[in-house]
Amino acid sequence: MSSQTLLERSTAGGAPHRAAVNVASPGCAASVASHRCAVVEHRWVNARYKYLRLAAEAPLARTTRPGQFYQLHCPTDEVHQPFLLRPMSVYGTGPDEGGIEFLYNVTGVGTKALAKLPMGGHMDIVGPLGNTFTFDASFERILVVARGVGLATMAPLVRQAGAAGVGVTALMSARTPGDLMQAEFLRGVPARVHAVYDSDGTSSVEAMEVLLRRLLVEEAPQVVYTCGSHRLLMLLQRVLADYPQIHGEVAMEQRMACGMGVCLSCVRLFDSGGSGHLKQFKRVCREGPVFPVREVVGEVEFG
């Protein structure tokens, strides 16, 4: 059953609905559902990003985990008519049991249509989808490396670490200081923040490698997490080769259609054995979106 079919199910009179479908699979929730949500808050954070908070009847705050995502049914108008649902990482949950939050960059047809969603309106979403970050409350410190919309994906992980008393070091990259959104990322969690920017050259691969290696030694994190930049992923993969004791994870960003592993539009190549001898394709939406950094294979050319 496609996610579109899920969204078209409703109860008489257009009441909020919840149509479930089993999608049992390793690394995926046992079941997902479509939810008709009320738009509680929708505002600009800066010139490029908007914050969206929805409220569902289902207890999404209890069933959603850091790293997971939802498929959003964006509205349409005369100018913007997105056909497919849009995958979007969860930025946060709560404070009510049905509360779910998203932070998104207004850039394409889908997000431009989404940006017009009015307060007091309704939106259909499907999820939660995908797996979650590996986290243990016994960790002493984690390092999160974020750029752009990747900070929305890892914000729930930062809150989880803060609630568990785990130290957080954040290496944040942005175009300019105005794009950083440090407060939106940390949301009150104490952290050691290192910010780098395109505007002053500190976000170059060469400069970040020097900083990253210093942080791995001085901060001694048990795990490094990243999302939001293929360039940062490849940098971490190269650097972590010299630190085998540190685990690395990445929340992959990939174009996808169904979000449930049916259409196979989001497959990527992975080295599941970690030695280069056991390569296989995996679906980012079902086996991911979170994968060990060391298993990701670079861009693959076909033909």
- Tokens read off for 127: 């999820």
Residues of CATH 3.40.50.80 domain(s) within the chain? 133-251
CATH code for the part of the protein at 3-129: 2.40.30.10
| pLDDT at residue number 234 | 92
| pLDDT at residue number 260 | 83
| pLDDT at residue number 149 | 75
Residues of CATH 2.40.30.10 domain(s) within the chain? 3-129
Domain covering 133-251, topology:
Rossmann fold (3.40.50)
Residue 259 makes CB contacts below 8 A (sequence gap 6+) with 3, 69, 71, 85, 87, 126, 127, 129, 285
Which residue from 125, 110, 129 is spatially nearest to 29, judged by alpha carbons? 129
Q: Which residue's structure tokens are 């390569």? A: 279
| pLDDT at residue number 24 | 38
CB atoms near residue 18 (< 10 Å): 15
| pLDDT at residue number 76 | 74
| pLDDT at residue number 29 | 47
Give the residue ranges of the chain where pLDDT is below 70: 1-30, 77, 79-83, 273-277, 299-303
Burial category of 120 from C-beta neighbours within 10 Å (exposed 0-12, middle 13-18, buried 19 and up)? exposed
Q: What's the N-to-C CA distance of the chain in angstroms?
A: 32
- Runs of H (alpha helix) within 146-229: 150-164, 182-186, 205-218
